[in-house]
Structure 1
Amino acid sequence: MARRAKEMNSFSGYHEGTATAEYQRCVDQAVEIANRQKEKVDPIYHGKIDALVDTYARKLADNMNQRFEIDARVPSVMIAGPANFPTGKKEKQNIARGKNMEEWRQVQGLLDKIKGTGMGGISADHPHAVMQLEQKLKGLEQSQQTMKEVNAYYRKHKTLDGCPALSAVEIEKLKVSMAQPWHLEDKPFASYALSNNSAEIRRIRSRIAELKEYAEVGFQGWDFAGGKAVANQEMNRLQLFFEEKPPAQERQILRQNGFKWAPSVSAWQRQLNHQAISAAGRIDFIRPLSGEHPRDLQPKAKQSPGRDETVR
């Protein structure tokens, strides 16, 4: 098809393997980007990066094949000549080319996703969220200690030279920073830097405690009329399995209460926590067969406050 597209749009011949070589070059570039990203992030993200590369390779192949097919539909006016040129077909071809180009841009956007994998915030949904947060907390605490030591050293010696908490490069960078007009305080690290970092430490500690509590709760599922609720600890999801597809009105109620349809597991689900249990209790058609609130079935009494209205 690549050869045919070339013949329809150029007098020069097609060199065997040109399209394949271009495709391989793009995929190799994606693999190189992925390998560089893997060096920057925790190994737990490597699987996601590999999956994005596979998706990129597959979608790029589809996009290139479609482009060749589109280019082969109608010859260029240079090849066909102006007499009886199929103007209408050419216009449709150009529209198809525009759509194909937009799809190509979307495919290239996967490269940005690869570059951003593992670089954002830490989601509570992640199975290793606690470990990641603990690593982040360790770094924040080390930074806090370093800033305090550097400020104390400067307060005592009125210089950063010889500060054991910093490397020579770090000392020079801080000197440059302190010489800037916007650096108002007579110390290497401003008071707001320490207070902001301290606040982030407290926030991370609180989040770790919350996630550990959720992991220890041991949430329980229940049966309801026409299905069952499963507390999937491994996936960190409260999952609702229905024997039959819920009607549109009920599906809307599920969405309003934070549940989303997951085709991969054929369930409506949301993150497993106290808020999810409370939300389930507000939905009449998934109430436990016993008539109790789902919160009353849970093994721990310590729960987040929540309304107990029934949605009908």
Structure 2
Amino acid sequence: MPTFTLGDDRLSIQAGSYSDQITISQIARNWDALSHYPERHAAAALHDLNARLTAFAAHLDELQAMGGSLDVEAEAEQFTRRHIEVTRAWWQAESRCMSSFIVGPANFPTRRNEKRQATAHKRMGEIGAHVAAARKAVERRAFPHGRPDGPVRGSNPDAADLLRQKIEERESRQAAMKMANKAIHKNRQESEETMAQAVAEATGWSLQVARAVIAPNAFAKRGFEAFELSNNNAEIRRLRSRLDGIEAKQQEPGRDTEEDTAAGPVRVVENVEADRIQLKFDGKPEEAVRRTLKGLGFRWSPSH
């Protein structure tokens, strides 16, 4: 497992075969022309870097605990190597910036400094962009068909079964909500504890959940309101419609044809298993062709 140890004067990094030590004294010079206290900036920079590395490692652990297929060590090493490169690029860009309060106002290169500050700001943005892109990429590798707590994708071979499970859960909740409301209405003259007990017996929920259900809302109403029942019903209908569409699509045979186009011969594949239409070229198409296809919703896939 990767380890990141933040001490008083340094950050020690170990991720797979990659190891590094970054000390405050090594990087403090990047803020010499920006602050009277460059060491404070350096300490804050190491603290933020450690937080980002630790958060990504925790994200890897979370994905693995959810059942994702991941080589945590390799993923942590790849992210750490690249993220430190991106972070050092920002620090280096900062080192080229100046403050007139530090270097003095005489002959201060205002326009040149503004350009350098813009570059530093861009490099800082690349740090957040790298974290976001890396998280998205690692989730895609861990769960090629989507996270188990996310929406069901049509490309998932188990999509139909997952949708049936979601429908059953929704239908079960719909029935339980109705039973809870019926129990509340039947015991409306009784004490709250008696009412909660009746709800628990009718639905099979715990007494703690039943007490929360019977608690009056801001309008002094108990139980589930009509909109909650109708919203749940609407979601059941949506899931059933989605299931019908997926089952119908699975019954259709995939088609594979070749078309003559201005860009040359192109195979048009209706890939039912992957739930997508694929256009396959003999080689990488021209930039103009890729740009046109991208505008129509297609994405270039180097691996295919």
Please indicate the TM-score interval, normalised by the length of the shorter structure.
0.5 to 0.7
For each residue in 1:66-100, what CA deviation from the matched residue of structure 2 results, as whole angstroms up to 9, or x when unmatched?
A: 22111222554455444444444322222223323
- What 5-or-longer segments of structure 2 have no aligned partner? 1-25, 140-145, 189-194
Does residue 264 of structure 1 match 2:289?
Answer: no
Q: Is 1:242–2:299 an aligned residue pair? A: no
Aligned residue in 2 for 1:181 = 219
Percent of aligned pairs with the same amino acid = 22
The change in CA–CA distance for 1:26 and 1:263 in structure 2 (over 3 A counts) is same
CA distance, structure 2, for counterparts of residue 27 and residue 194 of structure 1: 44
Q: How far is the alpha carbon of 1:167 from its aligned partner?
A: 1.6
**Corresponding letter in the other structure for 1:211:** I
Secondary structure of the residue aligned to 2:280 is strand
What is the alpha-carbon distance in structure 2 between the residues aligned to residue 92 and residue 251 of structure 1? 31
What are the residue-to-residue correspondences of 1:91-130 with 2, within 5 Å? Answer: 91-107=114-130, 118=147, 121-130=151-160
Q: Structure 1 residues 132, 264: CA separation in 2 closer, same or farther (over 3 Å shift)? A: farther
Q: Of 34, 38, 43, which residue of structure 1 is paired with 2:67?
A: 43
Task: Evaluate the alpha carbon distance shift between residue 23 and residue 195 of structure 1 in structure 2; reply closer, same or farther with a 3 A threshold.
Answer: closer
Shift of 1:107: 4.8
State the partner residue of 1:150.
Answer: 180
TM-score (norm. length: structure 2): 0.63
Contact 1:227 1:242 in 2 (8 A): yes
Matches within 5 A, 1:209-228: 209-225=244-260, 226-228=265-267
SS of match in other structure, 1:66: helix
The answer as to whether partners of 1:174 and 1:188 remain within 8 angstroms in 2 is yes
2:168 aligned residue (105, 113, 138): 138
2:56 aligned with 1:30:
yes
Residues 30 and 38 in structure 2, CA contact (< 8 A), matched pair in contact too: no
Shift of 1:36: 5.1
Q: Secondary structure at the residue paired with 1:261?
A: coil
CA RMSD for the aligned pairs? 4.3
Which deviates further from its counterpart, 52-61 or 67-76?
Answer: 52-61
2:37 counterpart of 1:2: no
Do residues 168 (structure 1) and 168 (structure 2) align? Answer: no
Quick check: 1:222–1:229 contact (8 Å CA) kept in 2?
Answer: yes
Per the alignment, in what secondary structure is the counterpart of residue 197 of structure 2? coil
Q: Distance in 1 between matches of 2:241 and 2:129?
A: 39
Call closer, same or farther: CA 1:250–1:161 in 2, change over 3 Å.
closer
| Aligned position for 1:300 | none
What is the TM-score of this pair, normalised by structure 1?
0.62
Letter of the aligned partner of 2:55 in structure 1? Answer: Q
Q: Distance in 2 between matches of 1:223 and 1:14?
A: 64
Q: Does 1:70 align with 2:93?
A: yes
Deviation at 1:207, TM superposition (A): 1.5
Matched, 1:208 2:234: no
Shift of 1:5: 0.9
How big is each residue's C-alpha offset from its partner over 1:171-229, in whole Å with a ceiling of 9 and x where there is no partner? 221222x454263xxx7333443343233223312321321221232212122331322
Task: Output the CA distance in 2 between the equivalents of 1:109 and 1:101.
Answer: 13
Shift of the alpha carbon at 1:140?
A: 0.5
Cα distance per residue 1:139-198 (max 9 Å; x no partner): 20220221232233334444333432232222221222x454263xxx733344334323
Three-state SS of the structure 2 residue aligned to 1:235 is coil
Change (3 A) 1:135 1:247: same
Q: Identify the structure with the greater strand proportion.
A: 2
In the alignment, the residues of structure 2 paired with residue 96 and residue 250 of structure 1 have an alpha-carbon distance, to the nearest angstrom, of 30
- Note if contact 2:152-2:163 (Cα within 8 Å) is conserved in structure 1: yes
The answer to whether the 8 Å contact 2:56/2:135 transfers is no
Give SS of 2:196's match: coil
